[in-house]
Amino acid sequence: MGFLFPGFLFALLLVAIPVIIHLFNFRKFKKVYFTNVKFLKDVQLQTYSTQKLKERLILLSRILVVIFLVLAFAQPYFKDESDKNAFKNAVVSIYLDNSYSMEAVNKNGSLLDEAKRNVKDLVDAYSLNDKFQLFTNDFSGKQQRLITKEELLDELNDIKTSPIVRDYQSVINRQQNFLLKQQQVEREAYLISDFQKQNQESLNKDTAINFHLIPLLANDLPNISVDSVYFLSPFHQPNQKENLVYKVTNHSDKAAENIPVKLNINGSQKAIASLNIKPNSSQTDTLIFSGLIGGWQKAAISIKDYPIVFDDILNFTFEVKKQLPVLAIFENQSLQNIKFAYQTDAFFKFTEVDLSQINYSGLSSQQLIILENLKSISSGLTQQLKQYLDNGGSLTVFIPLDADIVSYQSFFKTIGTDYPTSLVSQNIKAKNIDLTHPIFTDIFDQTPKNIDLPIANKYFTSTSFTKTTKEVLITGEGNIALFDVFKIGKGKTYVSFIPIEKETSNFSQHALFLPMLFKMALLASKEQKLFYTIGENQEIEIPNINIPENQNIIIKKKELEVIPELIKKPSGTILYFADQLNNQGVYDVLLKDSLLASFALNQDRKESALLFNNRDELSKIFGIDKKNILKSNAEPITKQIETANFGIGLWKLCIILTILFLLMEILLIRFFKDKNIKAA
């Protein structure tokens, strides 16, 4: 047992007052004359023992009144011996979950409103000298300071729901980093949340901090969410058919039937669908549409689902290219068959340049680079192409008949692929092609049985290293590799071991040649991110651009404008906007009035699954005793905190006993009388 205010125990000396009163009876005696002294003696004999008992009981009751009144002020309590810091000033860190799941309701209203009431009750359990930290999922800088109770209540009124979701370990780390800086105080940490399930089996926390949880319980609500989208092809062309795959999840225990799905692009409805989804499962479907024009497309796929609506819309953006830049590098003389192939479609912006006139700074802007007739590859060009591939570029190499084998070997070794070993003068015919590879998909209306494949009278033999990322597209007799593709860094390299000169092979005149050139360029398109998640992504990447002095890139959405931090990289420009963008929607990246890119932000879908941890699970995950998991729907939070921090208080019991002994004294004085005196 302990006392909150042990100084009041000195008042126990007041017990001496009733003792003194009983020891020294200050009552004045009155003479009473009796005719016969014998009668007086009989009365004294009969009442002495009774009177003595009455006086002692009154004395005892008065002593007990004083004792229990003093104890009530000292506030005794029962508490574990392990807690030795109960009397220090406390610094209390309070985490209030303000994610969208806190918009759920129960009999007390929304969970966020209930959480705010719990915070008010919580701070009432502490004294005026204690200090507080209040923070939410926003993790803003102003929440990293000590505040008083009054300041906390002012900030509490301004808290609103946020799209940002934090895992419990991040919350604990933030509390620990703050509290461990506070010295010579009792460190208390509270987490108020609905405690949705996360992929965390246990958490790391400091034992110098007392952690408490206040879980909030919501009514069971069904929920359906649009989780993700992706295109079957990363490249988008004007007026071409598009295949968009989307995923919708039913998070309830009941089947969802006839869920309407709509796709809007640039404000126009492009496709609709209807889904039936089994309980606690996901459904994937494909929307087919066309009719897009060149430029950035602002799209959204949506459903209708009440009452939880924050995850019913998924915004995304993508670019439809108006033209595709392709660069061919030759030495002395170009090969006309490649030029003629790309000039058949105005969509390809085909450029040829002599080896001596290459603009190395412009290589990064090319969708595809083709080495078509180079006798040798210099070390300078090798390094530039290696950097181009590492940053996501695509390269096609046609090895000419008069190639310097040593030079080509050095080039291929540098980029990390198989390399040619010798030129073999022998007839060879292609036997197999990998029809499953994207470069051959959509070329044939149906799978051909006896397909006519290229033939050659000369070819290059090559190495076959196991550590390369090779995909064999065309093989000849004896399983000889004739056309391969290698993944290099973020990019890829296509290598033809069949020379394309007319006197050597019919490859450049074959029906496969033109579609392969087209698909190599189309597949070279860098697959951009369709959407980003609020709270997880704080930067986006756009192609490198030259920004004039005294001009800034602006991220804009309606009236909101943000100037991001720019980070230049070889692969592109990174726009860093930190936590300045917290609203779902589509944002434009502008340089003056010129649109550079568009990107979409969506709320985190972690909140969509309405699964919550129970008390046993929370005790295991957080590694705390169940007595530190408070009940928001039971007795007042203030009372629970006092019990948790200061043990079981006995001051109320002391007040009750004080009143009882006062009543006992009154009853003794009023009703405890000697009947024999009356008879005499």
pLDDT tier, 632 (very low <50, low <70, confident <90, very high otherwise): confident
CB atoms within 10 A of CB 337: 17
pTM of the model: 0.72
More confident site: 579 or 463 = 463
**Nearest C-alpha neighbor of 522 from the set 544, 492, 499, 496:** 492
**Is 672 exposed, middle or buried (CB count within 10 Å of its CB: 0-12, 13-18, 19+)?**
middle
Taking only the tens place, the pLDDT of each residue in 522-563 is 888 777 789 999 888 888 988 777 777 788 899 999 889 999
State the average pLDDT over residues 594-622: 90
State the average pLDDT over residues 599-607: 90
pLDDT tier, 61 (very low <50, low <70, confident <90, very high otherwise): confident
Asked whether residue 630 carries a pLDDT value surpassing 70, the answer given is: yes
**Nearest C-alpha neighbor of 2 from the set 65, 60, 82, 58:** 82
Domains of the chain: 2-79+650-679 (no CATH), 90-220+610-646 (3.40.50.410), 225-321 (2.60.40.10), 325-522 (3.40.50.880), 532-602 (2.60.40)
Lowest mean pLDDT among 15-24, 35-44, 323-332: 35-44
State the average pLDDT over residues 503-520: 91
**Nearest C-alpha neighbor of 406 from the set 382, 381, 385, 376:** 376
Buried b (16+ CB within 10 A) or exposed e, 35-55: eeeeeeeeeeeebeeeeeebe
Q: What is the mean pLDDT of the chain?
A: 86
More confident site: 265 or 674 = 265
**Nearest C-alpha neighbor of 147 from the set 167, 168, 161, 126:** 126
Distances (CA, A) of 606 to 137, 200, 203, 222, 575: 14, 13, 19, 15, 25
Taking only the tens place, the pLDDT of each residue in 197-213 is 888 778 998 888 999 99
Task: Provide the residue type at 423 as one letter.
Answer: L
What pLDDT, on the 0 to 100 scale, is given for residue 42?
53
Rounded Cα distance between 223 and 200, Å, is: 23
Q: Do 133 and 143 contact (CB within 8 A), yes or no?
A: yes
Rounded Cα distance between 93 and 213, Å, is: 12
Asked whether residue 277 carries a pLDDT value surpassing 90, the answer given is: yes
Taking only the tens place, the pLDDT of each residue in 86-114 is 446 889 999 999 998 888 888 888 899 99
Rounded Cα distance between 528 and 603, Å, is: 19
State the average pLDDT over residues 370-380: 92
Distances (CA, A) of 128 to 132, 150, 576: 11, 10, 42
More confident site: 647 or 136 = 136
More confident site: 24 or 568 = 568
More confident site: 221 or 340 = 340
Q: What is the DSSP letter of 607?
A: G
**Nearest C-alpha neighbor of 588 from the set 565, 560, 556, 559:** 556
Would you list the DSSP string of 179-208?
Answer: HTT--SSEEEEEEEE--B--S-S-----TT
